[in-house]
Structure 1
Amino acid sequence: MKYLHGSDVKLHGRLKSTNCVVDGRFTCKITDYGLPRLYDAQNMYDETAPELLKDEKLRRKGTQKGDVYAFAIIASEIVLRGEPFSNTGYSPKAIISRIRRPPPLLRPSIPTSLCPYQVKSMIKECWDEEPERRLTFSQICDALSKVQKGKKTNIVDNMMKMLEEYSNHLEDIVKARTAELEVEKKKSQELLARMMPVEIAQRLQNGETVLPVCYDETTIYFSDICGFTSISAASTPFEVVDLLNDLYTLFDNIIDEYEVYKVETIGDAYMVSSGVPFKIGDRHAPEICMLAMDILSATGSFIMRHMPEVPMKIRIGLHSGPAVAGVVGLAMPRYCLFGDTINTASRMESNGLPSRIHISWSTRECLLKSDEGFQIQERGTVELKGKGVLTTYWLAGKEGYDSHGIKLDEYMNGNRPPPPKEPIKQKPFIPSKRKAVKKGWA
């Protein structure tokens, strides 16, 4: 009852001894609460406390003080081992009439010999004629604890106390376990959100079918490490993993500042898309190009921990065009991109040069339309597998671009600061711009 009064239910409204049941653990449980509409439809009201007998509106709703009065009557039944008012000698109608219209005040007579004086005093306070003077269930619990002095007289009573404590704390245990479950669920959701777009992940969790979507305006980024095969051959497996982890953690920190999506990494290959799955209008090409310049600048100061004397160089290829995105697989679903744009971007990377950003004719057209001062150099004709001979371009920089002390054009030409005598801790690379903010992009 103490818990019930502190919950959203607020009160019982029809508390009586027949609503008190004992379960298999010998724990008293309260039933038939939280049903005011059902009782109202059947004209079943609380007719226990004097104030409820006098006021029909209160009788319909019930009160917490009325529950306390009902508890006192139940306590008297336990002490007297009989029905309510069984020792008064009055009929039920006479009892109700005298309770409704005192004086004299009618209550069950409890001999002191049948219970401790403190218990009798508590019962009297609970059935006081004035509701405001009655105890609360918190005060009743404190009073009973003082009577028992925290001790039990026999093994059965001790067992009952342990079962009662277990029952009282069971809900706290459930809440704690539920909170732990929510934390673990949140971790799983965050991990899934890193593997694919949040909206896609939510649909999969809800058991919905994710249909493929066609995106007309996208730019795809591909990069890989030059000489990675030779580096791997001269390194232990742990050193290779540490190298990729250091480098791609650096890349991941940079892409967080842009409106792009990291599709996946395969070995030393790094793939990023812009315009997929977030549509940003004609900003997709400038966004990827700024990202590519920041990554290239960051790579210029990157030092391999186990090979500080070996320069780190990457090739970057960009291409713009339509692409299809969808989820593939059931056991290990992956968010994948398909289309000729992805193949061409991969060809642009493989046919590029170290420390260069190789862009296609379509990406160049998108940059010229943006009119943001990107510096583009014509490379000449290049034969791409499946495409034939095409004219491609180098992205050489951008007007006002700040690469934080790293001269991008010199790095592209192969210049690099001399390596340190001892491996040093990587300095965090600060991207050249703040994270892109959606401003009504389609």
Structure 2
Amino acid sequence: MAEKQKSDLLLSRMLPLPVLRRLRAQRTVPAEAFDAVTIFFSDIVGFTTIAANSTPMEVINMLNMLYRLFDEKIQEYNVYKVETIGDAYMAVSGLPQRNGNRHASEIADMSLSLMRSLEGASVPHSPNEPLRIRAGVNTGPCVAGVVGTTMPRYCLFGDTINTASRMESTGEAMKIHISETTKKALDEFGNYEVESRGFIEIPGKGNMETFWLVNKLGDVEPHNQCRKLDDYDSNLLELLIRS
């Protein structure tokens, strides 16, 4: 029973729980279309340079600490972590369980929280080098489903994901770059501070007006309550042994 619980816990971290239940019951899970979700992408600014000047263990240790911080923070929101690829982090709200029109505000709140968590952070093995991320957000329809049998993955497909990725790659350090569709979704709530970036050329999309998500009006979360990267154990080997 204890080993089964460990196995269930591991599987629940690889696939969403509702999808896992259907997979067990039906053996296959059909792809599902979602009318509106909000996608978040982030990556580390200057990661290639940092990696070139670090040992492989230092890079793994840095990513492990950063994403443990992210994983802990997103549990406070109605958000599902899709995956990490290298230094890229992808999350979504609005699937696999729909949440009405809350998906944009959930991702916005999460994005602002993550940015605050990294204020003043530095590369763990190089304290004089700041650790900064770029973030991009987009809202729209998508299709999601389990792909593969040997190592099944819950994957998202559609132009909404591509645009969110472009928002991240064309953004700036420690800023949240959002699309017009996300801006319109946040306007429905009326308590977000958003600034127009103007029209810029987005690769594969053409000329688009994009925006910066600056703040949530009336947000009273104290900055000093956000955990810093240094709060985590920097010894990766010890973490692996304990787990």
> Which residue, 199, 211, 220 being the options, matches 1:381?
199
Residue pair 1:297, 1:403 contacting (<8 A) in 2 also: no
1:420-431 counterparts in 2 under 5 A?
426-427=230-231
What's the counterpart of residue 401 of structure 1?
A: 219
**C-alpha distance in structure 1 between counterparts of 2:212 and 2:156, whole Å:** 25
Give deviations 1:234-279, integer Å, cap 9, x for gaps.
Answer: 1100000000000000000000000010000000000000001121
What's the counterpart of residue 53 of structure 2?
A: 234
Please state how far the C-alpha of 1:203 moved relative to its aligned partner: 2.6
**C-alpha distance in structure 1 between counterparts of 2:213 and 2:49, whole Å:** 27
Residue pair 1:259, 1:274 contacting (<8 A) in 2 also: yes
Please state how far the C-alpha of 1:405 moved relative to its aligned partner: 3.5
Please state how far the C-alpha of 1:209 moved relative to its aligned partner: 1.6
**C-alpha distance in structure 2 between counterparts of 1:405 and 1:263, whole Å:** 27
> Which amino acid in structure 2 is aligned with residue 377 of structure 1?
E
What's the counterpart of residue 240 of structure 2?
A: none
Q: Return 5+ residue gaps in structure 2 as ranges.
A: 233-243
Q: Return 5+ residue gaps in structure 1 as ranges.
A: 1-181, 407-423, 429-442
The answer to whether structure 1 residue 298 and structure 2 residue 117 are counterparts is yes
> Which residue, 76, 80, 83 being the options, matches 1:257?
76
Residue pair 2:121, 2:132 contacting (<8 A) in 1 also: no
Give deviations 1:59-91, integer Å, cap 9, x for gaps.
Answer: xxxxxxxxxxxxxxxxxxxxxxxxxxxxxxxxx
> Which residue, 149, 152, 173 being the options, matches 1:330?
149
Please state how far the C-alpha of 1:294 moved relative to its aligned partner: 0.3
SS in structure 1 of the partner of residue 138 of structure 2 = strand
- The answer to which structure, 1 or 2, has the higher relative contact order (CA under 8 A, 6+ apart) is 2
Give deviations 1:165-220, integer Å, cap 9, x for gaps.
Answer: xxxxxxxxxxxxxxxxx111111111000011112112323452200000111000
SS in structure 1 of the partner of residue 42 of structure 2 = strand
**C-alpha distance in structure 2 between counterparts of 1:240 and 1:425, whole Å:** 14
Residue pair 1:223, 1:349 contacting (<8 A) in 2 also: yes
> Which amino acid in structure 2 is aligned with residue 388 of structure 1?
G
**C-alpha distance in structure 2 between counterparts of 1:317 and 1:403, whole Å:** 22
Please state how far the C-alpha of 1:425 moved relative to its aligned partner: 7.5
> Which residue, 284, 295, 306 being the options, matches 2:103?
284
SS in structure 1 of the partner of residue 204 of structure 2 = coil
TM-score by length of 1: 0.50
**C-alpha distance in structure 2 between counterparts of 1:405 and 1:378, whole Å:** 25
**C-alpha distance in structure 2 between counterparts of 1:201 and 1:323, whole Å:** 20
What's the counterpart of residue 185 of structure 1?
A: 4
**C-alpha distance in structure 1 between counterparts of 2:55 and 2:4, whole Å:** 36
What's the counterpart of residue 172 of structure 1?
A: none
**C-alpha distance in structure 2 between counterparts of 1:402 and 1:269, whole Å:** 29
What's the counterpart of residue 36 of structure 2?
A: 217
Larger Rg belongs to: 1
Residue pair 2:143, 2:156 contacting (<8 A) in 1 also: yes
What's the counterpart of residue 266 of structure 1?
A: 85
Please state how far the C-alpha of 1:305 moved relative to its aligned partner: 2.1
1:410-425 counterparts in 2 under 5 A?
none
Residue pair 1:282, 1:370 contacting (<8 A) in 2 also: no
**C-alpha distance in structure 1 between counterparts of 2:134 and 2:81, whole Å:** 17
**C-alpha distance in structure 1 between counterparts of 2:145 and 2:57, whole Å:** 34
Q: Percent identity, aligned pairs only? A: 49
Residue pair 1:224, 1:268 contacting (<8 A) in 2 also: yes
> Which amino acid in structure 2 is aligned with residue 383 of structure 1?
E
Please state how far the C-alpha of 1:351 moved relative to its aligned partner: 0.5
SS in structure 2 of the partner of residue 396 of structure 1 = strand
Residue pair 1:374, 1:395 contacting (<8 A) in 2 also: yes
Number of equivalent positions: 229
1:32-431 counterparts in 2 under 5 A?
182-371=1-190, 373-405=191-223, 426-427=230-231
**C-alpha distance in structure 2 between counterparts of 1:224 and 1:304, whole Å:** 14
Residue pair 2:69, 2:229 contacting (<8 A) in 1 also: no
**C-alpha distance in structure 2 between counterparts of 1:381 and 1:303, whole Å:** 32
Please state how far the C-alpha of 1:299 moved relative to its aligned partner: 1.2
> Which amino acid in structure 2 is aligned with residue 380 of structure 1?
G
**C-alpha distance in structure 1 between counterparts of 2:102 and 2:42, whole Å:** 21
**C-alpha distance in structure 2 between counterparts of 1:365 and 1:208, whole Å:** 39
